[in-house]
Structure 1
């Protein structure tokens, strides 16, 4: 490894890339069956909400091109 040539205010900053800890972190706790089921239910609820919003919102986004459903005002009849 190369050394830094510019002075640094603290020696441990210059040597930080060479530091190795001998302390291992504790193992992660495994999720219980209830926690896993809760995560699945939350995911299904969010997904169902998004799909439901899409299904309900699709008719308002579609364009009706049939002439039977268009409305004309009386002023445009040419009286």
Structure 2
């Protein structure tokens, strides 16, 4: 760490970067059964929505083989 060149009027400001608190925070409150169930339900809903959109979107993203074959055959018949 670098030292400050200008004088600091208060000693606690100069040593603020070295200060560590000896006060421990209170323990975290345990989640109730309803909160845990709600979190699981929300997570499952999000996952189900993603899977559902993937299942519904895959046919739209795939190439239709019969449509491309009929277009190719029509183009070859014209020549």
The two structures have a TM-score, normalised by structure 1, of: 0.70
**Aligned mates of 2:7, 2:51 — CA distance in 1:** 56
Q: Which runs of 5+ in 1 are unaligned?
A: none
Deviation, structure 1 residue 65: 2.2
The two structures have a TM-score, normalised by structure 2, of: 0.70
**Which residue in 2 is equivalent to 1:48?**
48
**Aligned mates of 2:59, 2:9 — CA distance in 1:** 65
Q: Which runs of 5+ in 2 are unaligned?
A: none
Q: Greater relative contact order: 1 or 2 (C-alpha under 8 angstroms, separation 6 or more)?
A: 1
Q: How many residues align?
A: 72
